[in-house]
Amino acid sequence: MQKYTSISALALALALTACGGSDNTSTKQPVGSPAPAPAPTPTASTITIDFNKGIDGWTAGVADYHDGTEPTETGAGWSKLPVPFTGMGYYMRSHNNSDDVFTYAKRQFSGFVPNAKYNLTIEMSYVTSASNGCMGVGGARGEAVFMVGAAIDFEPKLVKGSDGRYVLNFDHGDQGNSGKQGKVLGRQGIDGLECDGTAYGKATRKSDEVIPVQADMDGKFWIVLGTDSAFEGTNDLYLTGAVVNVKPQ
């Protein structure tokens, strides 16, 4: 009985303390909401793309054609580079049946400041058998295929225009002419290769033309690497990599 009384007394004392039974009650003023953290500052960076390590996250496609003139012999995938080169590359192929076909690979990149504006320049490396100065059926493959790099804040998708032409939903340009979001890096051809297409060479094409892009609300944007062809025949090449320089506006 004594034990029960002691526990009851202790409980009563704790209850009085919790209910503010003391005269020494604190009267603190309410604290205002903390100031929002400052937005991160965009910084310069470099995206290094190495297709020898794989093509995870990349998707290939073709555009710029009408029904009945869609490109044939299309293909894309991770492949060994042709002799005399070693390693792997992103192989892309298409047969141009419309005097115009855009063959491309796309991928989204992240880690940028949400909604921040950047200026990009792109440098692309590849292996090809297209020589300069070789005229054949369909035209001059080396001079009539243009290397293109692009950047956009939304996913590139194939859409059908009002004229019935299947195009991408951004301005990548038209063959040798740059667009708003896509820039011509140079012609595909390499000097000194055999005109029969049996020998391969490696080249790098780049442009100082700036590509403006705004990262989306998650700090992401898309990179597109491709060829814009006026050569009416089959063209193939191996993309080996790219360097994308990213600078805040």
In the chain, what are the domain boundaries? Answer: 44-248
The SS3 of residue 10 is: helix
Q: Kindly report which listed range (6-20, 42-56, 160-174, 222-236) carries the lowest average pLDDT score.
A: 6-20
pLDDT confidence of 142, banded at 50, 70, 90? very high
- Residue 3: the pLDDT is 39
Note if the bond before 71 is cis, omega within 30 degrees. no
CB 178 within 8 A of CB 171: no
Q: What is the mean pLDDT of residues 46-66?
A: 98
The secondary structure of residue 114, as a DSSP letter, is: T
Compute the average pLDDT of residues 182-206: 96
Instruction: Specify the DSSP class assigned to residue 190.
Output: B
Q: Calculate mean pLDDT across residues 161-184.
A: 95
pLDDT at 178: 96
Average pLDDT over the chain, rounded to an integer = 89
Is the per-residue pLDDT at 4 higher than 70?
Answer: no
User: In this model, does residue 141 exceed pLDDT 60?
Assistant: yes
Query: Do strands 221-229 and 182-187 pair parallel, antiparallel, or not at all (unpaired)?
Result: unpaired
Q: Bridge partners of 15?
A: none
Residue in this structure with the two tokens 């299309």, named with its chain if needed: 74
Say whether pLDDT at 188 is over 90: yes
- The residue-averaged pLDDT of 23-31 equals 53
- Length of the chain measured in residues: 249
Mean pLDDT over residues 104-111, rounded? Answer: 98
Contacts of 111 (CB under 8 A, 6+ apart): 219
CA distance 70 to 10: 88
C-alpha to C-alpha distance for 135 and 198, rounded to whole angstroms: 15
Q: Does pLDDT of 80 surpass 80? A: yes
| E-strand stretches of the chain | 45-50, 59-63, 65-66, 72-80, 88-95, 101-109, 117-128, 135-136, 139-140, 145-152, 158-160, 165-168, 182-187, 201-206, 211-214, 221-229, 234-248
Residues 6+ apart with CB under 8 A from 132: 140, 142, 143, 187, 189, 190, 191
The predicted structure's pLDDT at residue 37 = 76
Of residues 232 and 54, more confidence is placed in 54
What is the average pLDDT across 196-200?
94
Question: Would you say residue 133 has pLDDT above 50?
Answer: yes
Please give the structure tokens belonging to residue 20. Answer: 């503010």
Tell me the fold of 44-248.
Jelly Rolls (2.60.120)
Instruction: Check whether 198 has a pLDDT greater than 90.
Output: yes
240 has pLDDT over 50 = yes
pTM of the model: 0.84
